[in-house]
Amino acid sequence: MTEGTDDSGAIVFDAQRASLLRVAYRMLGSMADAEDVVQEAFIRWAGADRDAVRVPAAFLRRMVTRLCLDHVKSARVRREEYVGPWLPEPIVEAEPVEDVTLPLMLALERLSPLERAAFLLHDVFGESFEEVARAIGRDAAACRQLAARAREHVRGERTRFPVDRDHGLAIAAAFFEASRDGDAARLGALLAQDVRFHSDGGGKRPAAGRILDGATEVLRGLAAIFRLRRGDPELVRHAFVNGLPGFVTREADGMVQTTALLIEDGRIRAIYVMRNPDKLRQVAGAVH
């Protein structure tokens, strides 16, 4: 048994840390929880018999997946008690990362933990079903069925025609300007008829208590927001939020907010607004 984390063990783990965080975040929807899981994996790696590990990357992915499966049980209880619509913690990046976009993450939330793990490990991260089986404690045939069921559930949420980067940011800029100005006509021209509006305040900040459905209802909800706000939002930056075009703003009360837009055929099909300050700590820390 190897005692402590010697330099070689730490170097091996650090080389995999970013990949492990991606796995854990996509399983849990929370970067804070993902970091806790990866840190627990590091502690366990320190006490493992590393001489017996043939492929550290696969070994660590299995470990993180199992820790995530344990964590999901308690996370599901918290979600059931959540105030209003739940959205994953926003990850803000300069360029789009399209392997798991925000709509797909919401679809993954509706899967069983084992279905989610099988789908992510095989379809997203390219693991063989034999590796998936070792990670989740099922045989390869069962894992193939889990992934197939998951694939069927999330089929409609996978990006079929990714929006061009610059075109997406241009639509996001137009949406921000129309929202800032309270221009209902310009907003209406940007929205698809079946647009949906998700806002996550987590009971900490004002937000819609349910998902708004359809252009008429979304415009009515946005108009209510315009009436209630006490000043214009300040644009911090245009960016990609969980793989979707969007922006970061600072509201009149000084709080940071993210907005992500699902765009199809030149129209906005979904709007995702994160207002929960607990989920915006990393974003707020990066812009101050």
Residue 145's nearest CA partner among 118, 121, 125 is 118
pLDDT value of residue 2: 41
Can you state the angle between helices 140-154 and 129-136, rounded to 10 degrees? 100
pLDDT tens per residue across span 239-274:
999 999 999 999 988 999 999 999 999 999 999 999
pLDDT value of residue 5: 52
pLDDT value of residue 174: 97
Task: Give me the residues paired with residue 244 across strands.
Answer: 241
pLDDT tens per residue across span 73-123:
766 656 667 888 999 999 999 888 766 788 889 998 889 999 999 999 999
pLDDT tens per residue across span 114-162:
999 999 999 988 899 999 999 999 999 999 999 999 999 888 676 666 7
pLDDT tens per residue across span 170-228:
999 999 999 999 999 999 999 999 999 999 999 999 898 899 999 999 999 999 888 88
| End-to-end Cα, the chain, rounded Å | 45
Mean pLDDT of 31-57: 89
pLDDT value of residue 96: 83
pLDDT value of residue 55: 87
Nearest-angstrom CA–CA distance, 86 and 152: 22
Three-state helix/strand/coil letters over the chain: CCCCCCHHHHHHHHHHHHHHHHHHHHHHCCHHHHHHHHHHHHHHHHCCCHHHCCCHHHHHHHHHHHHHHHHHHHHHHHHHCCCCCCCCCCCEECCCCCCCCHHHHHHHHCCCHHHHHHHHHHHHCCCCHHHHHHHHCCCHHHHHHHHHHHHHHHHHHCCCCCCCHHHHHHHHHHHHHHHHHCCHHHHHHHEEEEEEEEEECCCCCCCCCCCEECHHHHHHHHHHHHHHCCCCCEEEEEEEECCEEEEEEECCCCCEEEEEEEEECCEEEEEEEECCHHHCHHHHHHHC
pLDDT value of residue 158: 64
> Is 70 exceeded by the pLDDT of residue 275?
yes
Domains, in order of start, for the chain: 1-81 (1.10.1740), 99-158 (1.10.10.10), 165-287 (3.10.450.50)
